[in-house]
Structure 1
């Protein structure tokens, strides 16, 4: 019987699936108790994490008997993958399991931000009637969605956007224009600069690596179509948050949704104060009840296979 340590929240059914065959320590708060996490890691044959547990440095050194790291999500920037591989530790992400949730988040926030009418509840309930001010919202049909990154999430987002009447263009540095995924979804592959300047809604779907760190700075935001909507559900370090706030206040951006931040939890951010048509969410685009079940079940199965 192996020892499995789970340091962040996991669906109860998946925890039970692991516990039926192995000795499981499940503590969703373990990530916040570094000394105990290190002590438990030293006894772990497998560790299951989300995005906050940093599997590198001291924690990686503590995983002396570990065979597998299960990642409840897809991003691997919190895991020293090369370091794990050098120690013979398998790293298994939940590829594709939360793609639908992210795709729905992107399309839903795009509709909300284009229309611009859904944050008036307080005014209307207070007796105001901002009908004229809210009568110039935009429809999503006929708009162009630009995707930076065209993996499984980008492809699902494109499918749902096209069903609503959007034209979709995409850029992916790892895929050439002949890649079958573009034709399969009905998306035109084009260059990065063209996607940025042509999109009415621009959505980011790339990992945080050296080539994407700071990719969307003030200059790139300034090159977007005036009034465009920007959505980031990828990683915080890709986007200059202060530049987004400035572009919203100047009117260069017509709306923005940011789900991921350079520092999480987000500390006090005065640059976001008084920003119009802005949605900030705490890294939850891929988190729904259904996605958590899929992600947790997939990782439980992969961990069990690795420990077999």
Structure 2
């Protein structure tokens, strides 16, 4: 006798998305804010048919070995560096992502971080709150986008969306750093060329072996003095210790980030936490991975991941599948 499928959801989702999944079978959801440990997730996946995964998860062959009945891992995210595509294929498990719903809100946040960093919004807010504010004073002068030379490292969907938004700010030049992609509004440049002249550099590249610590101590030493960096790609695209050192020395003018190395679950030796030196560094602005944290966007992402689960569990092909395991269609 066939039992209804069991679906494991590793993070909280909207009630309407949960109801869709419960129409297929039982749903086991992490209702807390903290992620399940790898060991707990492995236990919960035993006998499960589907998993909806999030940024805090890592799926590799060892985990899949504990989940013999699993038919799909549907990621409610775009960047899948912590999910092993080949291992899923070998185990006959579909692996899907949500490829494009995160683009617009992430680009919006990137511009917000750039403006907040350049105009000292964090320090200004603290000054108003912690002093007997009595009006304008001649301090906290910063930098703006108008008239600036800006570099966009990575011209994928997010990078292209950032460039489109930059066009309205009156930048003197927008440099595009991407060996594979061009953008009509961005002048092509090599990374070392762009960093040598740009006042502001946006980073929106995925984490791969060739992008790990793409911005390191050597690169920062040759960057334009006072340069500001905004990272909305992956934390480990920069060497966070080197960034901290450059900030403390004054070589780097500022660093804003929505992503951190401690989140890069796919790295075997990822840092356990954000370096204290970076948290204590001057002129920084940090957000806790809020790139897609817009109510409507998150709901749409969850529905898209649910679409992929429904397809896999009803004998179809998930629209956003990264692989095509033959045994999944048997």
- Is 1:6–1:24's contact at 8 Å kept on the other side of the alignment? yes
Aligned length in residues: 300
Which one of 27, 31, 51 corresponds to residue 30 of structure 2? 27
Q: State the distance in 2 between where 1:25 and 1:274 align.
A: 40
Q: State the distance in 2 between where 1:138 and 1:31 align.
A: 39
Following superposition, the deviation at residue 48 of structure 1 comes to 0.7
Partner of 2:202: 203
Deviations 1:53-72 (A, max 9, x none): 11114312122122211111
- Is 1:98–1:294's contact at 8 Å kept on the other side of the alignment? no
Following superposition, the deviation at residue 221 of structure 1 comes to 1.6
User: In structure 2, do the counterparts of structure 1 residues 220 and 87 end up closer, same or farther at CA, with 3 Å as the change threshold?
Assistant: same
Q: State the distance in 2 between where 1:110 and 1:65 align.
A: 46
Which one of 6, 14, 17 corresponds to residue 3 of structure 1? 6
SS class of match (2:137): coil
Partner of 2:266: none
- Is 2:260–2:274's contact at 8 Å kept on the other side of the alignment? no
Q: State the distance in 2 between where 1:242 and 1:54 align.
A: 24
User: In structure 2, do the counterparts of structure 1 residues 9 and 172 end up closer, same or farther at CA, with 3 Å as the change threshold?
Assistant: farther
Q: State the distance in 2 between where 1:31 and 1:106 align.
A: 26
SS class of match (2:233): coil
Q: State the distance in 2 between where 1:156 and 1:53 align.
A: 27
SS class of match (2:297): helix
User: In structure 2, do the counterparts of structure 1 residues 220 and 156 end up closer, same or farther at CA, with 3 Å as the change threshold?
Assistant: same
1:1-308 equivalence runs, <5 A = 1-29=4-32, 31-125=35-129, 126-127=131-132, 131-134=137-140, 136-166=141-171, 167-175=173-181, 177=182, 182-183=183-184, 186-264=185-263, 267=273, 269-308=275-314
- Is 1:140–1:164's contact at 8 Å kept on the other side of the alignment? yes
Following superposition, the deviation at residue 298 of structure 1 comes to 1.2
SS class of match (2:310): helix
Deviations 1:237-281 (A, max 9, x none): 221112111212222222111222222496363313542210122
SS class of match (1:287): coil
- Is 1:147–1:154's contact at 8 Å kept on the other side of the alignment? yes
Q: State the distance in 2 between where 1:235 and 1:82 align.
A: 22
TM-score (norm 2): 0.83
Provide structure 1 residue ranges, at least 5 long, that are not aligned to the other structure: none
Q: State the distance in 2 between where 1:79 and 1:98 align.
A: 18
Following superposition, the deviation at residue 294 of structure 1 comes to 1.9
- Is 2:9–2:51's contact at 8 Å kept on the other side of the alignment? yes
Following superposition, the deviation at residue 152 of structure 1 comes to 0.8
Deviations 1:13-43 (A, max 9, x none): 2222222233222224484244442222121
- Is 1:247–1:253's contact at 8 Å kept on the other side of the alignment? yes
User: In structure 2, do the counterparts of structure 1 residues 208 and 117 end up closer, same or farther at CA, with 3 Å as the change threshold?
Assistant: closer
Moved more, 8-17 or 150-159: 8-17
- Is 1:112–1:118's contact at 8 Å kept on the other side of the alignment? yes
Q: State the distance in 2 between where 1:268 and 1:99 align.
A: 25
User: In structure 2, do the counterparts of structure 1 residues 153 and 11 end up closer, same or farther at CA, with 3 Å as the change threshold?
Assistant: farther
Following superposition, the deviation at residue 11 of structure 1 comes to 2.9
SS class of match (2:16): helix
TM-score (norm 1): 0.89
- Is 1:117–1:137's contact at 8 Å kept on the other side of the alignment? no
